Homo-oligomer: A and B are copies of this chain.
Amino acid sequence: MNSRLSYFTAGREGIWSIRDVREITGKGLSIEKRLNITTLPPAGNEKWTLRGIRSNERYTTTEEKSQLIEKQEDLGRPDSKFAVLIPIKKTEEWWQLSQDRRREIFEEQSKHTSTGMRYLPAIARRLYHCRDLGTNEPFDFLTWFEFSPGEQDRFDTLLSELRASLEWTFVDREVEIRLQR
């Protein structure tokens, strides 16, 4: 079975070199040499590890989903030498909102999906969920972005657009882990 759960482990192993770790909101993570992605938990000599699970979509409509499928390309393209892992935790206030209110903030007010869609297929994206893996997860989501080095400026613009949105006022902790293959 193709495991939905992945571990992102910082240490001395893995195909991704860590170029930078930036504290965006709240407590950051230490800068280490490499990031290793595995489907089994790390052996225990890691500096830090994050875990996330691929799950069903929470806000995407049928129409948005078919547009995404049409525009997006797979991870692992030969040109995608840069990646960025962004763990995020949202506030308790966010999680207490009803589904329709979260959707409204996420898309109608913050244009989360349609903003990301403008950067497809150049900037590929995959979402992992953490919040319901257990009681005490440090983050709610991990988002993985992959692109060619020439797209870095556009990626930075994408981040600025998202961070200026109403949705981001519900972000409690955010770290940016910049990687190179």
Contact = CB atoms under 8 A, between A and B. Distances in A.
B135 A62 contact: no
A100 B133 contact: no
Give the oligomeric copy count.
2
Contact of A132 (B3, B60, B133, B136): B133
Interface in A117-153: 129, 131-136
Contact of A58 (B1, B99, B134, B136): B99
B132 A132 contact: yes
B132 A53 contact: yes
B59 A99 contact: yes
Given A61-B100, A98-B62, A53 B135 contact: yes
Interface string A53-93: 10111111110110000000000000000000000000000
A100 B62 contact: yes
A96 interface: yes
A35 B61 CA distance: 40
A96 B135 CA distance: 26
A26 to B, nearest CB: 18
Nearest to A95: B56
A98 B135 contact: no
A5 B134 contact: yes
Given A62-B100, A99-B103, 15 more contacts: A1-B135, A3-B135, A4-B135, A5-B135, A53-B132, A53-B134, A53-B135, A55-B95, A55-B132, A56-B102, A57-B98, A58-B99, A59-B99, A61-B99, A132-B132
